[in-house]
Structures are given as C-alpha cells and as structure tokens.
Structure 1
Amino acid sequence: MATVAPACELTVLLPCLNESETLATCIRKARDSMERLGIDGEVVIADNGSDDGSPQIAEREGARVVAVRARGYGAALAGGIQAARGRWVLMADADDSYALDDIEPFVAALRGGADLVMGNRFAGGIERGAMPALHRYVGNPVLSKLGRLFFGVPVGDFHCGIRAFDRDKVSALGMRTPGMEFASEMVVRSSLAGLRIEEVPTTLRPDGRSGSPHLRTWRDGWRHLSFLLALTPRWLMLYPALVLFSVGGLGLLALALGPKQVGNVVFSVQTMLACATGVIAGLQLLGLAVVTRSYAARLGLLPPNDRLERMLERVTLDRGVVVGGVLLTLGVVAFVVALLVWGSHGFGALDPMSTMRLPILGMVLVLGGLELIMVSFTVSLSRRSG
C-alpha cells in the first residue's frame, strides 16, 4: 500500500457511511484533543459513499475528505490510511461512541515506541447501552481469547474500534480484507510481523446515531472468526489432524487382530472402520496443513516457519514418493491377500466380522500412500515456485 510522505504528527481517521448525525461532533472532539495536546495533526474522513451530506459536513468542520469507492469498513480504512499525512494514525468510528476527546494515552504510547496501540473498553469502561450483552459477554471475550491463543496477541479487547498505529509500518503489512474483519487482520498481521503492540484503557459510549449500526452480529462475528482460523493452519487443521490420526491409529492397531471387550462393550470391525476413517481424515488434514502453511509463507501471508522449512528440506520429493509408494504397495498386498482368502472360500459369502479387518488396513495404507505422494509433489511445486 503506497503512502504519501508524513507531513504532520497525527492523522485522526474516521471511516464514514452516512454519519451526518454524529460526524461533526467527532471531528470537533478530535480537533480539540489535538489542539489541547499540542499535536500537529489532521482529521481525515474516509467516505464510503455517503448520500446524507456527510462529506459536506466534514469539509465545513475543517476535515479532509477522501472518497473511497470500494465498499466496506476495511476498504474505507485502507483508503484513508493510504491518504493520511500523519506519521501516526488514530482510527475510530464516526458514531460518537469512542473517546476522541481523550486520545492522550494513545499518543503517549506511540511516542514511547509502540507500533500499534489498542484501546481496551473493558478496562476503561462501557456505559450502559453502549454494547449489546451478546457482544460484551460472549462475542468480544471469546474472539479476543482466541486471538490471544492463536497468535499470542497481548490484548484483552481484540476488536476495539479505536486504535493508533505507525502509518508506514501498518501499511507495510499488506492488509487485504475489505470488511469488518480488517480490524482483526490489523492485529494479527502486526503480531506476526513482530510489531510492538500495547493496550490502553478507553471508554465506550452509546452510539449517537438514531439508525441501525453497521455491525451485523452473526455475519461479522463469523467473518472475524473465519479470518482468525484462516491465518492459523495449526488450530484449523494441524491440531485436529493430530487428534484424529492418533486416536484413530491407536484404535486401528488395537482392533487389527480381533475384537476387544471392555466391560460389557465389544469393539469390533465397525469401530475399526470408524478408526480408519479418523486416520484417513487426519492424514488429509495433516497434508493440507503442511501445504497451506508452506504456501502461505511463500505468498507472504504468514511469516516463514523455520522448523517447517527444515522438515521440508529433509522430506524431499524423492523420499516422500518412496515412502508413499511403499505404503501404497503394502495396501495393494493387503487387498491381494484378502482376495486370495475370498478365493479359498469359493468367492462366496464371507463373514464380515472376521474378514473385513485386512481390507480396512489395506484401504488405510493405499489412501495414506497416495496422500503422502500427492503432498510431496504439491510441496515440491510450491517450493520451486517460491
């Protein structure tokens, strides 16, 4: 994302879509805050297609209006960041819910060396009626906890709409999402890039507009969650793969020679088939996790993983094909032996409880071998293309 050279210390950036009821108040609070703190700054309105006179109001209040054609919260912010003239950018919603009259903690943290300063509404105070109960007690806490778990982000309010950052460093992250998940992307990419992230308390007031908020609980919550999962193949694929493969593999080995009884419960060929399904699903997820993580690093979506790179250097295409070929051959042998057993019975009806174990093992070996061969080829191609 190309940016202009810094011309002032701070840009207060407000994305705008029909915010005529509250926009003037927000601009005045931002300008008064900067004047009181002696900050050389500007207010930029990233207008996303307002038709209620918001751009004209902004200009009358002395703000600079940047028209952003691409629709969406993230698109508006990206356009505003690109046009900002400040060394630092402080972004907030234009609905008069955030404390634009108290930006000193954000500026102090930036001056102290922080690259991204997040507001924390739970630490600063949420006024009555400012946040729906579902968001306050479920949505934000859960998504914030997942963000800390997945990416080690040291913040307690992952989705706070008021935050400040070093414009050039955040621009260099290459953020791409156009919707509400832009807020998550900024935090995640900042953490992955090793930027210094700090958090300061801030207050949240009720939305000052009379209309419906732009945020849609379930749609935008899912977009945030799916984005977090998309950038963490470990939690989305690797860990589930290891669980499925381990549990399925242990069950498969335990039942390979015959049924097992625990108390009054008998585990037999049906359980063995379920375990085989777990092993195959685990292998597929594991292969997909490796391919996804490797390719994401090549595209610059995720930072390189030195451990994975060393493993891929050892597991070359030739080795993967050889091991996969051995598994595939063993699987075919298992099917041939099962066919011979069937032939010894005159190709008549067989008792599945006693004859299905070998074909099940053969299926796992054939599919596992093919999976390893295909993953080896795919990883080899991605590394060559990189």
Structure 2
Amino acid sequence: METKNKPDLSIVIPLYNEERRLSKTFEAIRRFAAVPDVLDFEVVFVDDGSSDGSALLVRDFIHGFKRVHLISHKKNRGKGAAVRTGMLVARGKWRLFMDADMATDLTEFIKFVPSLNAGAQVCIGNRRMAGAEVLVRQPWLREAMGGAYTALANFFTGAGVSDFTCGFKCFSAEAAVEIFSRSVIARWSYDAEILFLAHRLGYAIKEVPVVWKNNGATRVRLWKDTPRAFFDLFRIRIHALLGRYRSIPQQ
C-alpha cells in the first residue's frame, strides 16, 4: 500500500467467506462515496483465509474503485486478527472497522464526525442508548445473552460501555496503533479486549447511537461460541496480570 497522500478515513472490513454479501457491501461503499463533501477515504478489506470467491470479487471491485485495498491472510486466523491486521496497515487519520454485512450502514459514520472533530480518539457505535434505532431485532435469547455478556465484560474490563459487540468502532491513528499493536485475542471477545486496552491506556470511549439491523445470517453458534467468548474475558484479565500487554498501567 502507498504511504503518500494519506486519507482522512480508513474503513477496515474483515472478510471470511462473504461472497454472497459483497454486492451489498460494494453498493454501500459507492453510496458513501457519493455523499456530498465526503471525507477522503480508503477501504481496506482483510480476507481471513476465505475458501470462497470473496478475494476475487474484491479484486474485481478494485479495478473500478482505486481507493480500495485487499490484504489476505493465507489461513483463517480469526476476526480479531483480521481487524488487527487492517487497523495496523491502514493509513487514515481516523480508522473505522465494520462488518461486511453492513448491519450498521457506512453512512452512520457521519454521526461520529462531531465527536472526532472535538478530539475523541475512540468512538463506538451503540445500539442500546437513547437515539439508537434497531430496525430488525435479534432473537430474544441472543439479546439476553448479549446483555449478560455486556455486564460481565464491563466487570472484567472496567470500560463502562453499554454495547461491546456492535461491529462499528472508530479510532484515531494514534489510538489504533497503541491499542491494536498490543491486542492478542484473535477470535471471541476481541471487541472487549480492545476496549479494555483503550480504557487502560487512558482513552475516553465515546458511545454514539447508530441505526442497526440484524441481517439474520450469523456464524456465531450460540451454545458453542458463547462459552468461548465468556472464557476470553477471563483471558484478558490473565494477560493483564501476567504483563502480556506491553506497558499498560496496572490497576
């Protein structure tokens, strides 16, 4: 990737077998590019060892949209690892990561801009606070498990946020490097880890209400993956106690 002409915004999108969704992803990027006075931006797709045609579709898209880049992992390393790769190779003043399914549309980033211009270094989308709108809800059991996870994640991280898992989070370039260069969790609870690191490193976390819709298709297997996510919360505390996060304040 080029190092000159750094964009204002980098949009990092992790991919794992997203072939069926990518047409909607590309359309969302085109809509964002058409917004009047939109920031100069780049898109960094990180293909996390997909076995379908995801990478080929992105390469085709790049031919007609030069501000798009593709980074590929040779094998599947986990969503957290893909996000970390993208955030550290991104060049933007601000670096947003989001899901390929566009559960939160890219244009919702516009709501972040006032906080970022005011100096916020970590802004995260929130589906639960006043002003947020959920167009299509998750099944009640997933919502209940999400509430329990949030409570436990706050207990272990001290981050004090009400939505850990909305896949729409933005960081200044400085915060992105400081946080993601220290992160180690590659799969479940990577969101909690990065917010834990942000909190420990002294970055205020600004929550912004967003419009969100459940897309109905998920790879999360509730009864198998949820225990792993909860276990990773313990791992965050263990890593901190053992000093595996480089140079963070102890509490």
Q: Same fold (TM over 0.5)?
A: yes
Contact 1:117 1:199 in 2 (8 A): yes
4+ runs deviating over 6 angstroms: none
Note the 1:30-49 alignment, pairs <5 A: 30-36=29-35, 37-49=37-49
Q: Give the CA deviation at 1:42.
A: 0.9
Tell me the residue number matched to 1:220.
Answer: 225
TM-score of the superposed pair, with normalisation by structure 1: 0.56
Provide the residue aligned with 2:212 in structure 1. Answer: 204
Where in structure 1 are there 5+ consecutive unaligned residues? 234-291, 306-386
Q: What secondary structure, in the 3-state scheme, does the structure 1 residue paired with 2:49 have?
A: coil
Q: 2:234 corresponds to which residue? A: 229
1:27 to 1:116, Cα distance in 2 relative to 1, 3 A = farther
Secondary structure in 2 matching 1:231: helix
Cα separation, 1, equivalents of 2:244 and 2:13: 34
CA offset at residue 176 of structure 1? Answer: 0.8
Higher strand share: 2
The count of corresponding residues between Structure 1 and Structure 2 is 238
Deviation of 1:298 (Å): 7.5
| Residues 1:108 and 1:24: Cα distance change in structure 2 (over 3 Å) | farther
Residue aligning to 1:135: 142
Question: Could you tell me how far apart the structure 2 residues matched to 1:43 and 1:109 are?
Answer: 22
Paired position in structure 1 for 2:193: 185
Bigger radius of gyration: 1
Distance in 1 separating the partners of 2:245 and 2:154? 24
Deviation of residue 229 (structure 1)?
Answer: 2.6
Matches within 5 A, 1:23-62: 23-36=22-35, 37-61=37-61, 62=65
Against the structure 1 CA distance between its residues 23 and 66, is the aligned structure 2 distance closer, same or farther, given a 3 Å change threshold? same
1:122 paired to 2:128: yes
Structure 2 segments unaligned to the other structure (5+ residues): none
1:92-107 superposed matches below 5 A: 92-107=98-113
Q: Which amino acid aligns with 1:26?
A: T
Q: Give the share of equivalent positions with the same residue, in percent.
A: 27
CA distance in 2, matches of 1:44, 1:125: 27
Tell me the TM-score normalised to structure 2 length: 0.83
Q: How does 1:1-386 map to 2 (within 5 A)?
A: 7-36=6-35, 37-61=37-61, 62=65, 63-70=68-75, 71-123=77-129, 124-128=132-136, 130-136=137-143, 138-173=144-179, 174-207=182-215, 213-232=218-237, 296-297=242-243, 300=246, 303-305=249-251
* Cα separation, 2, equivalents of 1:119 and 1:6: 28
- Provide the C-alpha distance between the structure 1 equivalents of 2:50 and 2:245, rounded to a whole number of angstroms: 35
Q: Is the 8 A contact 2:121 2:203 kept in 1?
A: yes
For residues 4 and 184 of structure 2, what CA distance do their matches in structure 1 show?
22
Distance in 2 separating the partners of 1:216 and 1:5: 42
RMSD: 2.5
Equivalent residues of 2:47, 2:71 under 8 A apart? yes
Q: Tell me the secondary structure at the aligned position of residue 13 of structure 2.
A: strand
Name the amino acid aligned to 2:242: A
Once residues 113 and 73 of structure 2 are traced to their aligned partners in structure 1, the CA distance between those partners, rounded to angstroms, is: 26
SS at match of 2:8: strand
